[in-house]
Amino acid sequence: MDAIHEKLKVIAPATGEQIGEIEETPISKVGLFYHKGRTAFLSWSNLPIEERLRYLRRLKDIMVTQMEDTASIIATDTGKVVTEALIADIMPTLDSIDHICKHANKILKRKKVTTPILLVGKKSFIEYMPRGVVLVISPWNYPLQLAMVPMISALATGNTVILKPSEVTPLVGKCIEDLFQKAGFPEGVVQFAHGGKEVGAAFTNGKPDYIFFTGSVRTGKIIQEIAAKELIPTTLELGGKDPMIVFKDAHLERAAKGAAWAAFTNSGQVCMSAERLYVEKNVYPQFISLLKKEILSLRQGTDANADVGSMTFPAQIQIVKEQLEDAIQNGAVLETGIPPEEWKNDMFLPLTLVTNVNHQMKVIQEESFGPLLPVIPFETEEEAVNLANDTVYGLNASVWSSDRQKARRVASKLISGGVVINDAIITVANHGLPFGGAKQSGIGRYHGDTGLKIFCHEKSIIEDTGRKKSEIHWYPYKEKYPLFLTLFKSYFNERRNWLQFAKSYLSILKKS
Ligand code: ADP
């Protein structure tokens, strides 16, 4: 036992007050966690799936009963408004449990697939086998759903889980632990490692069977390097710099309201928030004025009626500030908000719309993760697509137009894990759709069928009755070569020659 346990301070970002302390998991316990996880895996993975899903249903019931308490914990720990804690953190988690409970059985069932005639007499199947102990490392922006959805998916498939929640929102990490404890999961099936990046690194090095990471590109690359050394499979859900494209034929009032929400929800601390706005030139001035009006109507605060909460992670403020300073120094114009040197020393950043930006600026190329929205006019559809694709990211995007054909055409050309037409962000809210990024936004997908299958070894099985003495492809090969040539030529020819096929097949069979 470690004599001294480090404590994680719980700071409410909106007020700066320390509201608690949480004991860190000592790094010396990493081995014990994996031992427990592997032991629990033996029985958990052998439970019929319906029994595992029963635990998830119990978890959901508890979450429904404790919905208001959980929303309040999330809001306090992140500074986000309570409405967003409910609609964007709790709801998607509950919905994912529902989805998984409804579909997991079918998705994970042994599946029969067709067997080619060349393998006559055999049957083919796909089976899904859980991997073992899954390490989930989660971030602070949606601390409930981005931890719980991968956890639930891994658990449903028969894996055991270790969660390392973000140290920035430790209260939510503890809240998730309490929820699982109340649901009564068997010992060792779900474990919690609280602490910062050292704890995350120690568990990454502990040889998990799978790593599911959500966080920054920088940390994602560090984790992938460690995983590569042991060939541990991973899913990496990383950053974004999502474009929003508004064509002149869009419902402009709707698009302006949508832009304000997509850019400033969760104070812009969303990997899928709108971080670049492209507006067709003919409607540019009109759109800017509609958007300014919308932004100015938003109210920041901590009460239940507020629209935008505080920032969560103090270090993020500096990133947003530097990007804005860089843009202003290079000629950008503030349409809303105030110059960074006039910002108050608190966690509520001005909701900032900037124009007169160019595509090389940091504000266009780098993830802001704050309430900062740069706008650029465009003239043609092709130009809009090229601009939208011109960053290292590719998580999500939105296209706004009343011309359905055009919107779909543009959506298809965007290099992006998801695209929303005439709305933004919400692909993540349909658990039936795969979620993940292109380019530096990540590797892999979750949600939907994929979200369960990634946590399994996808196993191919071919079954023979075992009643024949030999097989045509076995030894001896004597005199078989010309017969195989005839067999394959008759089979793979554009017009199959079944007579020749049957004859050569029988001849090979005789020689086997
Ligand atoms: P952000 O703070 O923007 O969410 P990070 O990538 O820094 O992004 O953090 C996401 C999660 O990764 C957190 O739980 C954090 O503690 C964890 N983490 C940070 N650095 C490492 C690391 N080197 N190894 C493992 N986990 C890490």
Alpha-carbon span 253 to 290, nearest angstrom: 7
Q: Say yes or no: CB of residue 166 within 6 Å of ligand 1.
A: yes
Cβ–ligand 1 distance for 167 under 6 Å, the answer yes
- Percent of the chain whose predicted confidence (pLDDT) is above 70: 99
d(CA 149, CA 451): 9
pLDDT value at 480 more than 60: yes
Q: 266 CA to middle of ligand 1, Å?
A: 19
Report how far apart, in Å, the C-alpha atoms of 320 and of each of 7, 14, 108, 188, 368 are.
Answer: 29, 17, 44, 41, 6
Q: Give the H or E element holding residue 291.
A: helix 284-296
**Which residue has its alpha carbon closest to ligand 1 atom 19?**
197
CA of 295 to the centre of ligand 1 (A): 32
Atom of ligand 1 nearest to the CA of 137: 14
pLDDT at 5: 67
Which whole number is the average pLDDT over 46-59?
A: 98
| Residues composing the chain | 512
Q: How confident is the model at residue 3 (pLDDT cuts 50, 70, 90)?
A: very low
CA 191 to centroid of ligand 1, rounded, Å: 18
Give the pLDDT mean for 243-271: 98
Q: Name the residue of 197, 221, 229, 318 whose CB sits within 8 Å of the most ligand 1 atoms, as the mutation to test its pocket.
A: 197
Average the pLDDT over 103-117 and give the result: 97
22-43: pLDDT as tens digits: 999 999 999 999 999 999 999 9
* Model pLDDT, residue 278: 98
Does 204 contact ligand 1 (Cβ within 6 A)?
Answer: yes
Q: Which numbered atom of ligand 1 lies nearest the CA of 369?
A: 3
Per-residue pLDDT, 340: 97
CB atoms within 10 A of CB 499: 9
Is it the case that residue 1 has pLDDT exceeding 50? no
* CATH fold of 242-430: Aldehyde Dehydrogenase; Chain A, domain 2 (3.40.309)
CB of 139 sitting under 6 A from ligand 1: yes
Contact partners, residue 210, CB within 8 Å, separation at least 6? 131, 132, 134, 135, 154, 159, 232, 233, 234, 235, 454, 455
pLDDT of residue 6: 82
Check pocket membership of 137 for ligand 1, CB cut-off 6 A. yes
Residue 34 CA to ligand 1 centre (angstroms)? 20
Q: Are strands 274-280 and 372-378 parallel, antiparallel or unpaired?
A: parallel
| pLDDT at position 4 | 58
Residue numbers annotated as active site: 237, 271
Tokens standing for residue 152: 């639930």
Q: Is residue 417 within 8 Å of residue 435, measured between CB atoms?
A: yes
Contacts of 500 (CB under 8 A, 6+ apart): 486, 490
Domain boundaries, the chain: 30-238+448-459, 242-430, 471-510
| 183-210 per-position pLDDT tens digit | 999 999 999 999 999 999 999 999 999 9
Three-state SS annotation for 134-173:
EEEECCCCCCCHHHHHHHHHHHHCCCEEEEECCCCCHHHH
Chain segment 329-385, per-residue pLDDT in tens: 999 999 999 999 999 999 999 999 999 999 999 999 999 999 999 999 999 999 999
Average pLDDT, the chain: 97
Q: How confident is the model at residue 466 (pLDDT cuts 50, 70, 90)?
A: very high
Instruction: Find out if CATH 3.40.605.10 is the number for domain 30-238+448-459.
Output: yes
